Amino acid sequence: MEPNYTNIEQLIGGLKHEDARNLRISKIFQGLMAVMTPLYFIFFLIILISDGQPLKSLGFLFFSLGFLTFAIIFRKLYKEYKSIDYGVPTIEMLSKAAKRYEFWQRKTRLVLIPAILVSIGVGFSLQDALPFPDIKQRFLVIVIGYMITLFFAFMVGYWKWRVRQKPLRDKALALLKEIEG
């Protein structure tokens, strides 16, 4: 069920609620990634030194790099949501809100970088999990499986955006058009 923002006060309330939610999520994930990054780097070192399995250890290095990149992205998002000012002129506030809640934007595309790094990490880490004799086949099957999983996660994220954030964006754009036109 799509929320109905019949006036600007309801829209601002909805924006504040969603912005506060995104602030909390970005703070939690930033902290989680800050813990996971060094943890997986330590795993990388331990496996490299003790087990002598360079491919498996390389997987943990890619995990660590992916988590580091996620931590940087979530830090940027946290700062962005923390600095939102509802006291600016209405046109500026609505314009920023509409831009903030676009679906396909730079920050959305940036998430592909750590997702690919983690995908490579999964490919290296799970080499022993598949019975294929050829290492390239095993790697490819694992990475393709992970990419399919990411695709479904992307679709869930898109659905959640359509339900939670698109109505905010659409109403902000409609009010902007009404005010400017």
DSSP string, 51-103: I--HHHHHHHHHHHHHHHHHHHHHHHHHHHHHT--TTS-HHHHHHHHHHHT-S
Checking if the pLDDT of 19 tops 60, the result is yes
pLDDT over 60 at 49, yes or no: yes
Report which DSSP code applies to 32. H
Contact 68, 33 (CB under 8 A): yes
Q: If 0-12 CB within 10 Å is exposed, 13-18 middle and 19+ buried, where does residue 83 land?
A: exposed
Q: For 9-13, 32-36, 62-66, which range has the lowest pLDDT when averaged over its residues? A: 9-13
Q: Is the pLDDT of residue 1 over 70?
A: no
Residue type, 54: P
